[in-house]
Structure 1
Amino acid sequence: MLAVEKKRGHVHPFGPSPIIQTQPGLRENALWFMFLRALVTTLLLAITLFLQIKETTVISPQDLLPVYSLLGFTYFITIFFAAILPRIQKTTLFIGSQIVYDILFVTALIYITGTQDAIFTFLYLFIIGFASIVYQRTGALYTAILASLCFSTLLILDPIESSEKHLMTLFFNNVAFFLVALLSGYLAQQFRDYRTRLTHEQESVKELEDLNKIIVSNIASGIVTTDVNNHIIYWNQAAEKITGLKFKDIYKKPLFNIFPDLKKHWIKKADSKKHVSGLRQKFVYVTTKKEELLLGFASSSLQDANQEKVGTILIFEDLTKMIEMEQNMHRSEKLAAVGKLAAGIAHEIRNPLASMSGSIEMLSHELEVSPENKKLMNIILKETDRLNKLVNEFLDYVRPEDQKMKECNVYEILEDTLTAMSMQKNKNPKIKINFEPDQKDLKILGNKEKLKQVFWNLLINATQAIEDGGTVTVRTHTTTQDLKIDISDTGCGILEDDIPKIFDPFFTTKSKGTGLGLSVVHKIIEAHHGRITVFSTPEKGTTFSINLPIKGLTPVGGDYGRH
């Protein structure tokens, strides 16, 4: 009696043993089974024809017609079932019916050809083996029982065979049926367990791969993988966000085409058998939006199982804001210390200077002095004015800003400042100044006089950097959020070690500088909620970039970098 298993409304024909194949897998097995049946039928047909031609006694002439009829009917059944297989819903029952038909087919073939030799008994074994693949051990045993019943019935009903031969044939064949059923069922069970474990392991590997992809894709740092020729083969989402470049656009492109400034920090000739690790550098990257970023990189070799280098993996992050915060904190600490001395210094120095200056002027007018003494008095007055100017700059720097912001046109401020520069008496004819605005309507909220002071100081610095001749270029670029002003020169540039200090008070590389000009510039830009950045290449020039908000952005302070 067949056990019944309710699964999705289907009746399991071979007991509760679970079937691991899916519907597509079962259909594929059924097709293979019918293909093998057609192949065996064709082979049997060829053997029958050969025996008929040779006129052997293996198959008697009167048995040929039944054999041909059986083979032809089997062909028809196979083609018919193969045609309707795609429409079959209960594939498990369908395969069971095919197994039953094949058992009856082999039984009929043995009956027609005679039970004396039963040369086709081995076909039962193939059917039992296939049943174990689909239905596991339980199905193989049911198939063995059906084969045993059919074959035993043939022998029992055969009046020709002796009882002793009946017993021997029955015994050995039935033992073979059940041994094959047990063995094939065991192997099928082992295969099923192996495939289940393999499936679970594949699922685990897939989950780990998915988790790895999620982590790599969502990590805040940019990750780049290159091959041995430094061509990019992987680029995560953070890298796309930082650089503004899509992976599809830079795939297989040379790394140094994307990060030109990285090349000078790179180990050009790394032995493929050596692990290059701990390479940490900072360099400037210009985004597609023309924004300069300071990126920090760490790289290491990508090695295969044989410890051979197959590429390089790089992790980078945007350090611009972090460096900015560090510099602002450092500057604030200095300002706090300087501010405590500001009021005392101002009163202690300005009052004596005023007295000295006034006294010298009175003496120069009331006394008749020699030309040499007159020259000395002028030197005293000039140096007094210089000291007074230094004190005023210092007070401008440390005094809290109380600027009145009004709508002003930066184009007009730049034009006025450049006109004033060109009208200077000591103008250097070897210096060329270019003004390249993107438009004339450059309106923002700001303090006109303070902004003019910023541009004047930066232009003075630029012209002083190219005293032997060169070009100063002023460019503007407007976006929906801010206005960018670049003031560039073709001078000697700034040393890399000096760049982080240039906005610090009293830092100067000039013999007669006060060291407060750029500090005041930085403070004014900061008060306008803007940002000033500097990028410089020694012997090539320097660019100061000012970003001023059009719609009142949050102040972001200063930034430093180097090309």
Structure 2
Amino acid sequence: MLSSTCPAPSTDTESPSGQDATRLRGVEALSAPTVDRSLPELKTRLHWLMGLRVVLVTLMLGLSLAFQSTRGESAPTFTALIVFTYTITIVYAVVLRRLTTAAAHSAFIWVQVGVDVVLETVLIARTGGVESPFAVLYVITVTVASLVPHRRVGIVTGAGCTFLFGAITAVQYFRLLNASAWLPPSKLEGPEALQTFEVYGLAFLVVGFLSGVLADELRHADQSLREKEQGLTRLQVFHESIVRSISSGVFTTDQEGCITSFNPAAYEVTGYAFSDVQGRMWHEVFNWHPDERAQETELTSLSPLRFEVDCFHANGSCLVLGMTVSPLQEQGMQRGLVGVFKDLTQIRYLEEEMRRREWLANLGEMSAGMAHEIRNPLGALAGAMQMLRQDVGSDETSQRLMDIAIREARRLDNIITEFLQYARPPALRITEQDLNKVLADTLDLIQHEAQSRMGVSIVSRMAPTNLVAQVDQDQLKQVFWNLAVNAFDAMSGGGTLTITTGLRRVEVGGRRADVIEVGFQDSGEGIPKQNFDKIFLPFFTTKKEGSGLGLAQVHRIVDLHGGWIKVESEVGSGARFVVCLPQSAETGARLRHEGREPWKRF
């Protein structure tokens, strides 16, 4: 087959079974319980929460600590909080590795949010209380808490932050603590302190509520997206399962005609895996070469194109496919082609076999009449010419003409005899025989015949093991003799006939069976392609002499044994005839049932 110059498509090259397994695993993951599915999400959010905490503390407190250091002031609170944050983050990471349930993760989130609020409260109290610039950290904590994992976390956190900030404001305003170093009195007046508390408190509650609402909306959107993705994946797997379950071969192409998919039935029919045909032109794979203009006109129309095509299986045998090719439409635009095909090889073989058997039946009836209508008058004519030959006397011309007439009458009688044997072959006398021995018995006669031919030699290569089969040895000797004589006639200028025997294993109905092969390869002129379909027909011959029944008898005898003949030939390179015989009648019957009778090959 010719290779295509089309670029390989960017589709996944994974095997079909791998694609199904991956998608089915995706469906199973999407259809798993909500708790199991949310567990990795909780872990991810916890990691983000811990990372964000470290970043904020490092930036805000680290920068503040650096600023204090430039002024020559110490900030033990900042240092302690930074060290404590790093330490507790490490503890969080160790604990997180040991959590296995969603409930434990949810409780762990509450713990982290609570610790964060306490740390922020300490920081705010140590940096001015109601006037502290770090009060905004409450807002960040409320926002983060709202995203993990329910709305109530954000609302509760907002309420807690409001309460703690109110407590700080009250302590400062009413001066409830004597240690002014820990929480110094506020410089704000009563209305200003109350207003600051109201603004921050309202901000905490509003952020908690809105963040919770937003988090719920995001979760609902995510759930809806998951359900749609699950439905889409199931639908995709269902559609692919339908395509893979279809008994007919199905393929698709892109706009350039390069194959983009190949279902398992297509592999079963052609023997080509998807990786073998991916990116190749479909008409080259299937050996379809119509008129290019007609092809473009027919394939661009909306109606499907139906035709039969002769192509080759991956093992080299001939295939007859009934194919339907249609445009692949997507939103009203043609995106490529979709082809559906069925293997018609067995059907065509059975049709040919039925026609041949019907023809042989009619031939048998006609041959019975020929035996009486031609053979008896011919015998009488030959006897009369024998008597007339005695009365001719010494006239050489008359004697020569009479000899020609008698010789041709005998030749015509032999042709009729051969024809009757072909049309009505004798019943097979099946016995268990070693085909090596049967061929060796015939080889003596073949060697003797080769000595009478100028420049002809014989090379034999027998299998080292016995090739035992149920055959009629007399009929097979006739087959071997006819094939050898046919090879000699093809090498009129001399050459070499190579005779080989061997054993080959073939697939029959999912099981392996042994087939005996006997090959006759000559170095003659070869068989023209136009004669390939005629070489086994009765009376077809390209020789000046001969009845044209030799190969027809060979095919008939081999067919009666449940075997077949493979022919390989190229003009100028000789021809090779291979007789294939099953070792048992059961194997031959299965071969016929499976339609695996590749009796000729170009």
Match for residue 136 of structure 2 among 122, 128, 133: 122
2:516 aligned partner: 483
1:338 aligned partner: 363
1:547 aligned partner: 580
Aligned CA distance change for structure 1 residues 51 and 440 (closer, same or farther; 3 Å): closer
Would you say 1:40 and 2:56 are equivalent positions?
yes
Q: How much does 1:93 deviate?
A: 0.7
CA contact (8 A) 2:286 2:309 kept: no
1:26 aligned partner: 42
Would you say 1:147 and 2:180 are equivalent positions?
no
Q: How much does 1:554 deviate?
A: 2.6
Structure 1 window deviating more from structure 2 (488-497 vs 120-129): it is: 488-497
Structure 2 unaligned runs (5+)?
Answer: 1-33, 174-185, 300-304, 331-335, 505-512
Match for residue 444 of structure 2 among 413, 419, 431: 419
Aligned CA distance change for structure 1 residues 559 and 421 (closer, same or farther; 3 Å): same
Distance in 2 (alpha carbons) for counterparts of 1:34 and 1:212? 44
Q: How much does 1:384 deviate?
A: 1.6
Would you say 1:433 and 2:458 are equivalent positions?
yes
Q: How much does 1:519 deviate?
A: 2.2
* Superposed counterparts of 1:444-455, under 5 Å: 444-455=469-480
Letter in 2 for 1:410: L
Distance in 1 (alpha carbons) for counterparts of 2:314 and 2:519? 14
2:87 aligned partner: 76
Structure 1 unaligned runs (5+)?
Answer: 1-17, 257-261, 306-310
Distance in 2 (alpha carbons) for counterparts of 1:492 and 1:382? 31
2:499 aligned partner: 474
Q: How much does 1:508 deviate?
A: 3.3
CA contact (8 A) 1:19 1:135 kept: no
The 3-state SS of whatever aligns with 1:554 is: helix
Would you say 1:100 and 2:114 are equivalent positions?
yes
CA contact (8 A) 2:367 2:423 kept: yes
Structure 1 window deviating more from structure 2 (551-560 vs 145-154): it is: 551-560
CA contact (8 A) 1:323 1:560 kept: no
Match for residue 179 of structure 1 among 180, 189, 206: 206
Structure 1 window deviating more from structure 2 (393-402 vs 442-451): it is: 393-402
The 3-state SS of whatever aligns with 1:438 is: coil
Distance in 2 (alpha carbons) for counterparts of 1:20 and 1:537? 68
Distance in 1 (alpha carbons) for counterparts of 2:551 and 2:499? 17
Letter in 1 for 2:43: R
Q: How much does 1:476 deviate?
A: 0.8
Distance in 2 (alpha carbons) for counterparts of 1:74 and 1:359? 130
Aligned CA distance change for structure 1 residues 275 and 171 (closer, same or farther; 3 Å): farther
CA contact (8 A) 1:537 1:562 kept: no
The 3-state SS of whatever aligns with 1:175 is: helix
Distance in 2 (alpha carbons) for counterparts of 1:101 and 1:72? 14
Match for residue 565 of structure 2 among 510, 532, 535: 532
Distance in 1 (alpha carbons) for counterparts of 2:280 and 2:574? 26
Once the two structures are superposed, what CA deviation does each residue of 1:338-383 show, in whole Å capped at 9, x if it has no partner? Answer: 2332221222111111211222223324663622222222222222
Kindly tell me the number of residue pairs found equivalent between the two proteins: 528
Aligned CA distance change for structure 1 residues 222 and 465 (closer, same or farther; 3 Å): farther
Percent identity at matched positions? 31
The 3-state SS of whatever aligns with 1:501 is: coil
CA contact (8 A) 1:295 1:316 kept: no
* Superposed counterparts of 1:444-523, under 5 Å: 444-479=469-504, 481-523=514-556
Distance in 2 (alpha carbons) for counterparts of 1:427 and 1:313? 61
Distance in 1 (alpha carbons) for counterparts of 2:114 and 2:216? 22
CA contact (8 A) 2:42 2:149 kept: no
Distance in 2 (alpha carbons) for counterparts of 1:46 and 1:403? 104
1:170 aligned partner: 197
The 3-state SS of whatever aligns with 1:135 is: coil
2:601 aligned partner: 562
CA contact (8 A) 1:140 1:184 kept: yes
Distance in 2 (alpha carbons) for counterparts of 1:66 and 1:199? 46
CA contact (8 A) 2:261 2:274 kept: yes
Q: How much does 1:450 deviate?
A: 0.8
CA contact (8 A) 1:459 1:487 kept: yes
Letter in 2 for 1:542: A
TM value normalised by structure 2: 0.73
Once the two structures are superposed, what CA deviation does each residue of 1:435-475 show, in whole Å capped at 9, x if it has no partner? Answer: 11123633322112111111111122222122122222211
Q: How much does 1:531 deviate?
A: 1.5
Q: How much does 1:246 deviate?
A: 8.5
1:360 aligned partner: 385
The 3-state SS of whatever aligns with 2:129 is: coil
Aligned CA distance change for structure 1 residues 529 and 454 (closer, same or farther; 3 Å): same
TM value normalised by structure 1: 0.77
CA contact (8 A) 2:521 2:575 kept: yes
1:135 aligned partner: 149
Distance in 1 (alpha carbons) for counterparts of 2:36 and 2:433? 78
Distance in 2 (alpha carbons) for counterparts of 1:498 and 1:200? 65
2:317 aligned partner: 293
Distance in 1 (alpha carbons) for counterparts of 2:427 and 2:362? 21
Q: How much does 1:282 deviate?
A: 3.7
Match for residue 110 of structure 1 among 99, 114, 124: 124
CA contact (8 A) 2:117 2:161 kept: yes
Aligned CA distance change for structure 1 residues 232 and 429 (closer, same or farther; 3 Å): farther
1:442 aligned partner: 467
Q: How much does 1:484 deviate?
A: 0.5
CA contact (8 A) 1:494 1:537 kept: yes
Aligned CA distance change for structure 1 residues 148 and 21 (closer, same or farther; 3 Å): farther
* Superposed counterparts of 1:182-221, under 5 Å: 182-200=209-227, 202-203=229-230, 206-207=233-234
Q: How much does 1:87 deviate?
A: 1.8
Q: How much does 1:392 deviate?
A: 1.6
Letter in 1 for 2:93: A
Distance in 2 (alpha carbons) for counterparts of 1:33 and 1:380? 114
Q: How much does 1:324 deviate?
A: 3.4
Letter in 2 for 1:562: R
